[in-house]
Structure 1
Amino acid sequence: MLDRTGTLFSHVKPADTPYQGGGLRDFFLYRDLGIAKATHGKVIAHLVKANLPPEEGTGWHRHEADFQIVIMLKGWARFMYEDQVTLVEAGDCVHQRPGVRHYLFDYSPDMEYLEIVSPADFKTVDVDPVCEIPKPTPWPA
């Protein structure tokens, strides 16, 4: 039988949770979708969009998480997953296996993605470089 007591119903409208800075990366803006509160910290879902051009990128890191997906809604982003360049475009879904070393190094000015991670309070851990990173695409002036 389905347990309906562990989570809450949630309905978040755009005006309820505006995009804000102060998230994991200062060159992105984040919009909380209320899922962490509704699931009592089991899952977080947020929208992430480009705020500033990619200069340094995210750096090499991994997440201490059980589950993570990125669904690209607009634009595109280029990631290194281990030693593989991966272009993620609007409509693509990426499942980042637990512990995969990665680096988001390039993205379009209109990039926006949905990220869903479990648990909500996942940790990000910097790791040693895996390989060289390609140069980002300059944004139009």
Structure 2
Amino acid sequence: MLDTTGTRFSHVKPADTEWKGGGLRDFFLYKDLGVAEATHGKVIAHLVKANEAPEQGTGWHRHEAEFQIVIMTKGWARFMYEDQVTLVEAGDCVHQRPGIRHFLFDYSPDMEYLEIVGPADFKSIDVDPVCEVPAPTPWK
């Protein structure tokens, strides 16, 4: 079948890209998987991992995105999705429907997840608090 989407083939090995700061959250590190470039910005796929202990968390926010999934590859994270505490553990997959208000407030030191979002230049918008958020678990 002929590809008429204009996207390119991409194959990124672990050593091809480095973990970098400067992403959406200062307390995480990000590893680009080459998908945004290959899809001309239609989709981004990156690995995200804990870099600092959770103190403030992400705060309440929503994303302007058409599609978003998180696949936890290591460790765990606790999110508030609207008013529900949700524990996401290694192997879990979460589809975050467009516009869902959420707050990542706690995670393990070894937390790492794959995030796939479309479009690649999605926006994160702060929102008013939905409810009280539990305290994070202190790292030892």
Q: Same fold (TM over 0.5)?
A: yes
Change (3 A) 1:80 1:2: farther
Q: Describe the superposition over 1:63-93 as per-residue Cα deviations: whole angstroms up to 9, x where unpaired.
A: 0000000000000000000000000000000
Alignment of 1:71 with 2:71, yes or no, is yes
Distance 1:127 1:100 in 2: 10
| Aligned counterpart, 1:30 | 30
Write the distance in 1 (CA, Å) between the matches of 2:100 and 2:116: 16
- The whole-number CA distance in structure 1 between the counterparts of 2:106 and 2:24 is 17
The one-letter code of the counterpart of 2:72 is M
- Is the counterpart of residue 110 in structure 1 residue 110 in structure 2? yes
Structure 2 SS opposite 1:49: strand
Structure 1: gaps spanning 5 or more residues: none
> What does 1:47-126 align with in structure 2 at a 5 Å threshold?
47-126=47-126
How many residue pairs match? The answer is 140
The alignment status of 1:15 with 2:15, answered yes or no, reads yes
Identity %: 85
Q: Distance in 2 between matches of 1:137 and 1:95?
A: 25
Q: Shift of residue 12 of structure 1?
A: 0.8
Letter in 1 for 2:68: Q
User: Structure 1, residues 41-71: CA drift from partner, whole Å, max 9, x if none?
Assistant: 0000000000000000000000000000000
SS at match of 2:14: coil
Q: Which runs of 4+ in 1 moved over 3 A?
A: none
Shift in Å at residue 3 of structure 1?
2.8
